[in-house]
């Protein structure tokens, strides 16, 4: 018993020292704790603000559009264009063929866009029809220029608004309303009111597609740097040899290191999830709805995240132990992330309705699907038993394999 | 080629030996780092392991602290009358590897305390011992400084204090004065001699013969993985009929030193590294 206590004490001492080492490294704290916590709130605050300011900036521009037409610009159209911060000039339509053909004006428009003197060309030609009015039109623009794109968008808006007026006038002349003509069979009332799922449940469903990816990506990524630092890094710096000379069993050293990396990776990924939930609940709740997750769901989600971290960290440690240098470890662990992200991505498309039990026994898939079920409030006891036991088994096998690697005799040698 | 073996057999009274190396061969892939080496280490000795680069000194030290397992033969120790496996001796052994192996984000004392805790020693006891030896090394003022930016001498002193903090019966030092300035090297030598005079056992690898002669009670010469001589400096000179330890060493190691690394990678590691370095080493 005292032997076990001694061993546990040593494992905890190793983990404690490694955690102190992490905490004292501001780069690790920044990359592993601060960035994951802040990334989603910053994205949810900064990105909309940035997009709004960019939109406002471009909206302030007065854009120049040339209207090529054989006759007077219809009053209805000019009214719609004037309200859109456009300066337009009228010229005679020269194009005799298809209006989209840009051969005649391409060069002139291109240089106009470059010199900021012309941003788009609207071509209009009246056609024969039974409607009150009928026109062919085309808008020439340069899609690689932001201002030309914006000029096209504003012109198109004006044309479509004018078109709506023309349709309404034609329908009115025939004693029809727009709904009668275009929506004779229509939904009665609010479509959302007919959905049994609450806004929170729908938000949770959306989150279920997102969280497993975030967890897989961030856990696998977050664990790489500390896993390398504590193994290949120690080997390269020569600190491992002295450590291996202490009476601590190598398996206990590995367990201590694994505990430290798993703690850091878990804190990192939980911090990121916390940041994401905060961002959704308080910053973007109006847009997405606040997800409703049961307490059991939260507990199962946390458990699955922890088990995933345990598993991933053990594998990454084992691989990093084999490497002779930090560079070598990095070059193999970087691409290895795909082994975790690939199945996670695949698992997003697995139908949870009537899902076969064996999915919950497959590594990586099991935890990913468990996260989805936990968030969506599906608590199937068989699934839970399966993913908990298999995840634990995989984690134990991974840790055992890592400890086997840690027993290698060449561990004290490095390429440096 | 003349091989003069002054003494190659283990002691006839093995219980006296703290550490015993019996017929040990250590190979790495196809390279034999040590071949059929037998030697005893007794309590209260300061033993110098002398040899050129790649002779097998570090391999022997790593066998003595259990980092390596012998390919053939036995390495074991004695705790009292009891024979124990080498890994069971670890709490009685303090090691200063050639690379001092300090954690840069910890202070010198935190480095020492970490190892003493892993050795099962409480902080007060470790501090008492550390403070005492640190004063001898004129290092007590630097114990609470971060080791980042320490000079080679300061790192070596920290590693030495770390190895001694748990009160080991045996100290294994791999080139402890390598790269040190004259003053620091002198301090380390004085400390080692003091430990020996106080009854401690120190096994000290070096290729500095003058230093070995000055510090060590007994010298073991290793050359090309074989044990060439084992005795006091004066006995080695007498047996080789030379006037200095350097001449004795030359007489005992006349054959050409082997070149290259003695510790080569395993097949898997080599393949792994080739994969990582896209094509392997230039000399392969």
pLDDT band of residue A48 (cuts 50, 70, 90) is: confident
When the pLDDT of each residue in chain B is averaged and rounded to a whole number, the result is 83
What mean pLDDT comes out for the span A115-130?
89
Confidence band (pLDDT; 50, 70, 90) for B242?
confident
From chain A, pick out residues whose CB is under 8 angstroms from the CB of B104.
237
Chain A nearest C-alpha distance from B111 (Å): 9
Q: What is the pLDDT of residue A210?
A: 80
Tens of pLDDT along A214-224? Answer: 888 888 888 88
Do residue A241 and residue B67 have CB atoms under 8 angstroms apart?
yes
Decide if pLDDT at B9 tops 70: no
CB within 8 Å: A13 and B266:
no
Average of per-residue pLDDT across B104-114? 95
Q: Which of B119, B265, B272 sits opposite A246 (nearest CB)?
A: B119
Q: SS in 3 state form for chain A?
A: CHHHHHHHHHHHHHHHHHHHHHHCCHHHHHHHHHHHHHHHHHHHHHHHHHHHHHHHHHHCCCEEEEEEECCCCCHHHHHHHHCCCEEEEEECCCCCCCCCCCCCCHHHHHHHHHHCCCCEEEEEEECCCCCCCCEEEEEECCCCCHHHHHHHHHHHHHHHHHHHHHHHHHHHHCCCCHHHHHCCCCCCCCCHHHCCCCHHHHHHHHHHHHHHHHHHHHHHHHHHHHHHHHHHHHHHHCHHHHHHCCCCCHHHHHHHHHHHHHHHHHHHHHHHHHHHHHHHHHHCHHHHCCCCCCHHHHHHHHHHHHHHHHHHHHHHHHHHHHCCCHHHHHHHHHHHHHHHHHHHHHHCCCCCCCCCHHHHHCCCHHHHHHHHHHHHCCCCHHHHHHHHHHHHHHHHHHHHHHHHHHCCHHHHCCCC
Q: Is the pLDDT of residue A338 over 80?
A: yes
| Between A39 and B159, residue with greater pLDDT | B159
Q: What is the ipTM of this complex?
A: 0.82
**Which has more pLDDT, A58 or B29?**
A58
How far is B110 from chain A, CA to nearest CA, in Å?
9
CA atoms within 13 A on the CB side of A19: 16
Residue B101 contacts residue B160 (beta carbons within 8 Å) = no
- Who contacts A195 (Cβ-Cβ below 8 Å, separation ≥6)? A202
User: Phi and psi at residue B230, in whole multiples of 5°?
Assistant: -150, 110
Residue of A241, A321, A408, A414 to mutate, testing the B interface (most B Cβ within 10 Å of its Cβ): A241
pLDDT digits (tens, 9 = 90+) for B66-100: 889 999 999 998 887 788 888 888 888 999 988 88
Which chain B residues are within 8 Å of A413, Cβ to Cβ? 263
Lowest-confidence region among A39-43, A217-221, B252-256: B252-256
Taking the C-alpha atoms of residue A325 and residue A238, their distance in angstroms, rounded to an integer, is 11
**In angstroms, what separates the C-alpha of B71 from chain A's closest C-alpha?**
12
Does residue A64 or residue B259 have the better pLDDT?
A64
Residue B16's pLDDT band (boundaries 50, 70, 90)? Answer: low
Q: What mean pLDDT value characterizes chain A?
A: 87
Minimal C-alpha gap between B76 and chain A (Å): 15
pLDDT-derived band of residue B278, with 50, 70 and 90 as boundaries? low
pLDDT value at position A213?
A: 85
Rounded mean pLDDT of B187-206? 88
Q: What mean pLDDT comes out for the span A35-56?
A: 85
Cβ distance of A322 and B272 shorter than 8 Å: yes
Q: Which domain holds residue B267?
A: 14-276
Do the Cβ atoms of B114 and B147 come closer than 8 Å?
no
Contacting residues of A for B276, CB less than 8 Å apart = 323, 327-328, 331-332
User: Over 90: is that where the pLDDT of A38 sits?
Assistant: no
From chain B, the residues in CB contact with A235 under 8 A are none
- Measuring CA to CA, which residue among B173, B180, B191 is closest to residue B155? B180
- For the stretch A67-99, pLDDT in tens is 999 888 888 898 898 888 899 899 999 888 899
Of the listed ranges A346-355, B41-50, B143-152, B258-267, the least confidently predicted one is B258-267
CB–CB of A10 and B118 under 8 A? yes
| pLDDT 10s digits, A289-335 | 677 778 888 888 888 888 888 888 888 988 888 887 888 889 988 88
State the pLDDT at residue A179: 81
pLDDT score, position B14 = 45
CATH of the domain at B193: 3.40.50.300
Predicted confidence (pLDDT) per residue in A140-193, tens digit:
999 999 999 999 999 999 999 999 998 888 888 888 888 888 888 888 888 888
Residue B263 has pLDDT above 80, yes or no: no
Percent of chain A with pLDDT over 90: 27
For A197-248, write each residue's pLDDT tens digit.
Answer: 887 788 788 788 888 888 888 888 888 888 898 888 888 888 888 899 999 9
In the numeric block, the tokens 């329908």 are attached to A171
Q: Does residue B283 register a pLDDT over 60?
A: no
Is the model's pLDDT at B11 over the cut of 50?
no
Per-residue pLDDT, averaged over A45-51, amounts to: 83
A→B contacts (Cβ < 8 Å), by residue, are 6, 10, 13-14, 17, 20-21, 24-25, 237-248, 322-324, 327-328, 331-332, 409-410, 412-413, 415
- All residues of chain B having their beta carbon less than 8 Å from the beta carbon of residue A25 are 105
Kindly give the residue spans of alpha helices, DSSP state H, lying in B30-181.
57-64, 108-118, 123-136, 152-164
Instruction: Name the interface residues of B facing A (CB cutoff 8 Å).
Output: 62, 65-69, 87, 90-91, 93, 95-106, 110, 114-115, 117-120, 159, 162, 172, 263, 265-266, 269, 272-273, 276
- Determine what percent of chain A is predicted with pLDDT higher than 70: 96
User: pLDDT band at residue A285, thresholds of 50, 70 and 90?
Assistant: low
User: Taking CB atoms and an 8 Å cut-off, how many pairs form between chains A and B?
Assistant: 91
Tell me whether residues B101 and A237 touch, CB distance under 8 A. yes
Please report which helix (H) or strand (E) contains residue B77, including its range.
strand B72-79
Average pLDDT over residues B42-68: 90
Is B2 within the bounds of a domain? no
- Chain A positions in Cβ-Cβ contact with residue B172 (cut-off 8 Å): 245
Number of domains in chain B: 1
Neighbours of B185 (CB within 10 A): 18
* B282, part of any domain: no
Confirm if B110 and B97 have CB atoms less than 8 A apart: no
């Amino acid at each position: 018993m005292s032997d076990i206590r001694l061993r546990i004490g040593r494992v905890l001492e190793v983990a404690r020292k490694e955690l102190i080492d992490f905490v004292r490294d501001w780069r690790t704290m920044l990359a592993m704790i601060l960035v994951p916590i802040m990334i989603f709130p910053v994205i949810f605050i900064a990105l909309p603000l940035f997009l709004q300011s960019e939109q406002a900036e471009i909206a302030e521009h007065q854009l120049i559009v040339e209207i090529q037409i054989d006759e007077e610009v219809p009053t209805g159209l000019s009214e719609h264009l004037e309200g859109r911060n456009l300066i337009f000039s009228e010229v005679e339509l020269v194009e005799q063929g298809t209006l989209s053909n840009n051969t005649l004006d391409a060069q002139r428009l291109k240089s106009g866009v470059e010199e900021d003197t012309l941003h788009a060309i609207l071509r209009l030609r009246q056609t024969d029809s039974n409607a009150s009015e009928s026109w062919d039109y085309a808008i020439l623009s340069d899609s690689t220029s932001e201002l030309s794109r914006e000029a096209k968008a504003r012109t198109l808006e004006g044309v479509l608004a004018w078109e709506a007026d023309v349709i309404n006038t034609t329908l009115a002349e025939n004693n029809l309303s727009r709904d009668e003509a275009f929506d004779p069979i229509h939904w009665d009332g609010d479509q959302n009111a007919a959905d049994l799922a609450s806004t929170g449940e729908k938000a949770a469903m959306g989150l279920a597609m997102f969280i497993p990816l975030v967890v897989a990506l961030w856990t696998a990524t977050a664990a790489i740097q500390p896993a390398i630092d504590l193994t290949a890094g120690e080997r390269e710096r020569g600190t491992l040899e002295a450590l291996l000379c202490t009476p601590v069993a190598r398996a206990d050293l590995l367990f201590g290191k694994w505990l430290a990396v798993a703690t850091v990776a878990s804190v990192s990924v939980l911090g990121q999830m916390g940041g994401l939930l905060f961002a959704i609940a308080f910053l973007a709740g109006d847009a997405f709805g606040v997800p409703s997750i049961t307490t059991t769901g939260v507990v199962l989600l946390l458990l699955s995240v922890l088990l995933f971290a345990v598993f991933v960290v053990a594998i990454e440690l084992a691989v990093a132990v084999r490497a002779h240098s930090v560079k070598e470890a990095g070059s193999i662990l970087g691409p290895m992330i795909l082994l975790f992200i690939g199945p996670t991505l695949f698992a997003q498309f697995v139908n949870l309705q009537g899902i076969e039990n064996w999915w919950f026994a497959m590594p990586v898939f099991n935890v990913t699907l468990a996260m989805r079920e936990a968030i969506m409030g599906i608590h199937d006891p068989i699934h839970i038993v399966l993913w908990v036991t298999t995840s634990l088994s995989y984690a134990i096998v991974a840790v055992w394999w890592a400890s086997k690697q840690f027993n290698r005799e060449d561990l004290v040698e490095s390429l440096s | 080629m003349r091989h003069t073996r002054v003494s190659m057999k283990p002691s006839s009274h093995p219980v006296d030996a703290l550490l015993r190396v019996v017929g040990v061969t250590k190979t790495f892939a196809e390279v034999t780092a040590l071949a059929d080496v037998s030697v005893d280490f007794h309590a209260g000795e300061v033993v110098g392991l002398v040899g050129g680069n790649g002779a097998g000194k570090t391999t022997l030290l790593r066998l003595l602290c259990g980092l390596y397992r012998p390919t053939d033969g036995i390495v074991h120790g004695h705790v009292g009358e009891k024979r124990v496996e080498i890994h069971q001796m670890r709490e009685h052994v303090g090691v200063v590897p050639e690379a001092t192996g300090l954690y840069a984000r910890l202070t010198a004392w935190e480095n020492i305390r970490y190892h003493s805790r892993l050795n099962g020693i409480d902080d007060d006891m470790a501090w008492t011992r550390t403070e005492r030896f640190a004063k001898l090394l004129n290092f007590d003022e630097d114990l609470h400084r971060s080791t980042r930016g320490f000079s080679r001498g300061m790192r070596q002193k920290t590693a030495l204090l770390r190895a001694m903090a748990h009160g080991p019966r045996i100290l294994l030092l791999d080139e402890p004065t390598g790269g040190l300035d004259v003053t620091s090297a002198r301090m380390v030598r004085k400390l080692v001699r003091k430990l020996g005079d106080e009854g401690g056992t120190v096994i000290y690898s070096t290729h500095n013969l003058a230093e070995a002669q000055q510090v060590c009670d007994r010298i073991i010469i290793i050359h090309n993985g074989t044990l060439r001589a084992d005795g006091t400096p004066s006995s080695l000179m007498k047996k080789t009929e030379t006037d200095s330890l350097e001449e004795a060493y030359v007489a005992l190691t006349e054959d050409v030193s082997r070149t290259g690394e003695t510790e080569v990678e395993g097949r898997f590691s080599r393949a792994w590294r080739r994969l990582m370095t896209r094509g392997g080493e230039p000399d392969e």
